[in-house]
Amino acid sequence: MTDDLKAFEVVDERKGSSRSEGVRSLRADAWHDLRRNPLFWISAALIVLFVVMAIAPGLFTNTSPRETVLSEARTPPSSENWFGRDVQGYDLYARCIYGARASILVGVFAAAGTAIIGTIFGLLAGYASGATDAVVGRVAEIFFALPLILGAVVILTALPPSDEYFVIVFKVVLVFWILGWPTIFRLMRSSVMQVRPNDYVQAARALGGSPWRIVTSHILPNAIAPVIVVSTINLGVYISAEATLSFLGIGLQPPTISWGVMISDALVAMRSAPHVLLFPAAFLSLAVLAFIMLGDAVRDAFDPKSR
Amino acid sequence: MRRVRRSLTLASALLVASAALAACGGDDDDGGGGQSESGEQTGGEITVRGCNPENPLVPGNTAETCGGNVLDVTTAKLIKYATEDAAPQNDIAESIETEDNQNFTVTLKDDYMFSDGTQVTASSFVDAWNYNAYGPNGYQSSYFFAPIAGYADLQCTGDGEDPCAGQGSQPKAEEMSGLEVVDDLTFTIQTTEQVSNLPVRLGYTAFAPYPESFFEDPEAFGTMPVSAGPYMVEEFTQNEQIVVTKNPEYSGEFPGNLDRITFRVYNDASAAYADVVAGNLDVTDDIPVNVLQDDIWLSDLQDRGTEREQGVISTMGMDPTVDKRLDDPALRTAISMAIDRETITEQIFAGAAAPADGWVSPVVDGYVEGQCGDNCTYDPEAAKAMWEEAGGIQGGLTLTYNADSDHGPWTEAVCNSIRQALDVECNPRPVVDFATFLTQLGDKEIDGLFRQGWQMDYPSIENFLVPLYSKGASSNYYSFDNADFERLNREAAAAPSVEEANLLYQEAERLLAEDMRIIPLWFTTGQVGWSDRVSGVELNAFGVPDYAAISLN
C-alpha cells in the first residue's frame, strides 16, 4: 500500500475501529482482530499441519503408500497399522498422509487461480464499465450458468488421460478455473463499483493519475477484501469438490493418491470394514473445515459491518 | 458370447428409484394358487430378479443374460444342458447322428408342440437358423451358424460400418446349402469343416426353433414370443417385468415346478438383494460385492445362498510382436508366477472368482486340473529368479483395461503383486470403453499387458481354445500362431468321439502353458440368493439359476 493512500484510509477506517486504542490501517486492524480469534488459531494450526503433510509426508510416516499386503486387506486399526489397511492392503495411515498433497495442491491452485482471473476481469468490468462491462459480464454469466459437476464431467472426459502426477492434478485445477472464476468476478466487480465513486479515487483522477495507477494503487487495495474472504472459503470448497469428482471417478485418477479416490475405493467395503471409509473421510472433513473456519475468521476481521 | 451385465459400481439414485417403482408394481399378485395344486412341491408363483433385455425376446438376437435368462425357460432346443455338469441331453432331438463329423442327421421327437399348439418340425429349425444367419437381418448370434456350409453366402459383402449398405453387397443366398429338410421330423446339417462337437453346440438359445407365426411378424414375436419351452411369456412390460407361465402345450421331459415366474426388472444389484433379504423378492442371481466380503450375504440370508464356478475365464495377455521386450517365454512365465491369484480372488473378488489353473473352465466337458501347472502358482522368489535370469525388461509394465466396467480394483492388485514380486514398475492403464479397447487391440497399439475375458457359448473345451487362440481368430489379440496348436485342433475336430477329441484339445491347451503369452487369472463364480419361501435353487454352468426346478416351500 502506498503512502499517499494512507491518509484516506485512516479517515475511512476511523469509524470502524473506534473501540481500538490507536489508528490503524484496514489490514492492521484485521490482523489485530484475527489474533484474538481462537477460531483463527485452531484453523491456522490445522492448515499448517496439512500443508506440512503435503510438502513432506515423510515426516509423518516411513511407510510407502504403495506398499501393500493384500492378504491383510481391510484389517482394522492396530498398533502396527494405526488406521488399519484398505481394500488393496495399503497402509491407510500412510495413504491418508500422502493424500493431503493432491487435495492441498488442488485447493490452493484452484482458489488462487480463480481469485486472480476473477479479480482481473472484475477490475476491468467494474472500472471500465459500459460496453466492456457488458461483454465481460455476459461471458461470465455463460460460465456461471454451467453447473460445476456437469461442466467438470464434460471437460475432464474431453481431456486426454495422463499418467503424470502434475498433469492429473492440473486438469482438475483447470476445471475449477474455468468454472469458478465468475463468482469472484461478480464479487470484485461490485466491490470495485462501490469503491470507484469514493473521494480519494476522484481526487487521484483529478490529480491526473493514469487509469493503471488508479486501479492498482487505489481501487484494488480497497476492493480486494471480499475476494480474499471468499477465496479462503472457496479453498475448502474446492478441496471437497475435488473429492466429489474423484469419487465419481472423473477427478484425480490412480496412481494419484487423494482422499476422494480413497473414499471411492472404500465404498465396496462399507459394510465389512467401515474404517477404510472413515479415515480418509475424516481427513477430508478436517481439511475442508479448517479452510472454511479460516475463511470465516478472515471475514469477521475484514468486514467491519458484521461486528 | 453372452455378455454378463454385472457392474460393481453404485447405481445412481435415479436407478434405485426406478427399481423401487418397479417393485411397487408387481406386489399384488403374491401367494397365488400353490395350494390349489395337489402336491406341495409344484405350482405357485415366485418373483425373481430380472433386468431389461437389450433386444426383443427373439432367441437369435439375444446375446446377453437379461433376455437370455427368460429365454432359457421359454425355449426348448434340440439339446438341453444338465444343470449339474452341463452334459448335453436330448430335448427336442430324438437323435443326432454323424459318421464323419461333417454330415449330421437330426431326428426330432414326434408331437413336440409350440405354445400356440403348432408342431415343432424340421423346417421350424431350418427356417429359424437361416433367418438368424441371414446377414441383412443383423442378428447378434448369426456367427453361431458359421460352421454350417453355405453360411458365407448369407452374409453381406460390403465394406465399412454396415456391410449390407450399398448396391451389390446383398448376400447371394437366403438359405444355407448345408441345411436340408428330409421330412417333417428329419433334417440334415453339413458343415464346411469337421466339427466333432457340433451336437454340444446345439443347446444354445440361438439354435431354438421358430414357429410359423414368427416369420409372419418377427417384431410382434419379440414382445410375445411363441416357443416350445416349459414356460411361455404371458406379459412383457419394458422396464417393469416379464411374466412367464406354464406352457400348457409343453411336451418335453423337463417341465417346471412353478405355475408362474415373474422376472421383475432391477437396474441395481443392491436393490434386488435388499428385496430378497426383506422377503419381497424370491431369487436374485446378482449379489453385490460389498456383501460378498466376509460372507455377509450368507449371514444376511441365513445360508439361503449358493455359488458355483461358471464358464467364464479372465486372462491377461500380451503380444510379443507389439511389445518386443516380452519375447522371452521365461519373462512371461515369471510375470504369471508373480501374481498371487489366491489372495486376489479372496480379497478383491471376495470369493466371486476362483484361481485359474488352466485356460479351460472347470465346468465344461474336457477340463483337466492343473494344465498351467507351476506357471500359474504364486511363487515370488522363483518368479524373481526366473525374471533376473532372463534379463528382465527395460522400463515398466502397464496393464490395460476397459474402464467402463469394474476392472480397476483387480488390475491394481495384479500390478501390485507383480511390482512387489519382480521389482518392476507396473501400473494399470484404463481405456475409456470396451469398444475403444478392442479397436486399439486390433490395431496392435497396446503394449505391455492387457486384460481379456471370455464367457463360453456352449459347454465344450473347444470353445475355450479355438475361437480365442487359433491363428487369425477374431479374438486372438496375442499374435499366437502355433502350427502344433492348429494341427491338434484340426485333428480334434475330426476325432471320432468326444473323448478322443477332448484328449487332443487338452494337448493343445498344454501348448499355451509353454508359451505363456496368455496368462490365466481366474474363473468367475456365480452366486444366487433366495428368500425363505422357495427351495431347490441351483445355478447351471452358465451361472443362471435353473428357474424351472425351483419350488415353493
| Domain ranges within chain A, ordered by starting residue | 27-60+102-306
Supply A116's cell numbers. Answer: 486472480
Partners of A74 on chain B (C-beta within 8 Å) are 293, 347
Supply B38's cell numbers. Answer: 395337489
CB atoms < 10 A from the CB of B151, how many? Answer: 25
Pairs of residues, one from chain A and one from chain B, whose beta carbons lie less than 8 Å apart: 60
Dist. CA B423–CA B39, nearest whole Å:
65
List chain B residues with pLDDT less than 70.
1-41, 160-161
Pairing of strands B45-50, B397-402: unpaired
Instruction: Label residues B500-526 b or e (16+ Cβ within 10 Å = b).
Output: ebbbbbbebbbbbbebbbbbbbbbbbb
User: Omega of the bond prior to A255 within 30 degrees of 0, cis?
Assistant: yes
In single-letter form, the type of residue at position B511 comes to: L
ipTM of the complex as predicted:
0.75
Dist. CA B232–CA B241, nearest whole Å:
14
The reply to whether A132 touches chain B by the CB within 8 Å rule is no
Supply B84's cell numbers. Answer: 449339474
Chain-chain contact of A70 with B340 (C-beta, under 8 angstroms): yes
Chain-chain contact of A66 with B417 (C-beta, under 8 angstroms): no
pLDDT at B127: 95
Task: Give the nearest chain B residue to A73 (CA atoms).
Answer: B347
User: Residues B11, B268: contact at Cβ < 8 Å?
Assistant: yes
* CA-based torsion, B55, B59, B61, B62: positive or negative: positive
Partners of B427 on chain A (C-beta within 8 Å) are 163, 255
Query: Using the 8-state DSSP alphabet, how is residue A161 labeled?
Result: P
Task: Give the nearest chain B residue to A65 (CA atoms).
Answer: B416
Give, to the nearest 10 degrees, the angle between helix A259-266 and helix A225-247: 30
Out of B290, B344, B412, whose CB is closest to A269? Answer: B290
The reply to whether B420 touches chain A by the CB within 8 Å rule is yes
Dist. CA A84–CA A72, nearest whole Å:
9
Dist. CA A160–CA A137, nearest whole Å:
31
Chain-chain contact of A70 with B408 (C-beta, under 8 angstroms): no
Give which of B61, B196, B220, B223 is closest to B128, Cα–Cα.
B61
Give, to the nearest 10 degrees, the angle between helix A26-35 and helix A275-302: 130
User: Residues B211, B116: contact at Cβ < 8 Å?
Assistant: yes
What's the maximum distance between 2 C-alpha atoms anywhere in chain B?
75
CA distance readout (Å), A120 to A124, A130, A233, B129: 6, 17, 20, 71
Out of B293, B343, B408, whose CB is closest to A269? Answer: B293
Pairing of strands B260-265, B241-246: antiparallel
Dist. CA B508–CA A154, nearest whole Å:
48
User: Residues B26, B234: contact at Cβ < 8 Å?
Assistant: no
Strand partners, B526: B308
Residues 6+ apart with CB under 8 A from B206: B59, B60, B132, B141, B144, B145
List chain A residues with pLDDT less than 70.
1-23, 304-307
Chain-chain contact of A272 with B293 (C-beta, under 8 angstroms): yes
pLDDT at B430: 85
Range 256-275 of A in CB contact (< 8 A) with B: 265, 267-273
pLDDT at A304: 62
- What length is written for chain A? 307
Q: What is the pTM of this model?
A: 0.80
Helix, coil or strand: residue B208: coil
Partners of B412 on chain A (C-beta within 8 Å) are 88, 254
Overall fold of domain A27-60+102-306: MetI-like fold (1.10.3720)
* Structural domains for chain B: 9-74+221-288+528-552 (3.40.190.10), 79-211 (3.90.76.10), 310-526 (3.10.105.10)
Q: Burial level of B361, CB count in 10 A (0-12/13-18/19+)?
A: buried
User: Residues B336, B375: contact at Cβ < 8 Å?
Assistant: yes
Q: Kindly report, residue by residue over A3-36, the tens digit of the pLDDT.
A: 444 444 444 444 444 444 566 777 788 888 888 8
Count the alpha carbons within 13 Å of B150 in the hemisphere toward its beta carbon.
15
pLDDT at A21: 52
Out of A163, A265, A268, whose CB is closest to B427? Answer: A163
Supply B395's cell numbers. Answer: 522400463
User: Residues B15, B268: contact at Cβ < 8 Å?
Assistant: yes
The reply to whether B482 touches chain A by the CB within 8 Å rule is no
Dist. CA B171–CA B177, nearest whole Å:
13
Partners of B294 on chain A (C-beta within 8 Å) are 272
Chain-chain contact of B290 with A267 (C-beta, under 8 angstroms): yes
DSSP string of B401-465? EETTSS-HHHHHHHHHHHHHHH---EEEEEES-HHHHHHHHHTT---SEEEEEEE-SSSBGGGGT
Dist. CA B300–CA B326, nearest whole Å:
47
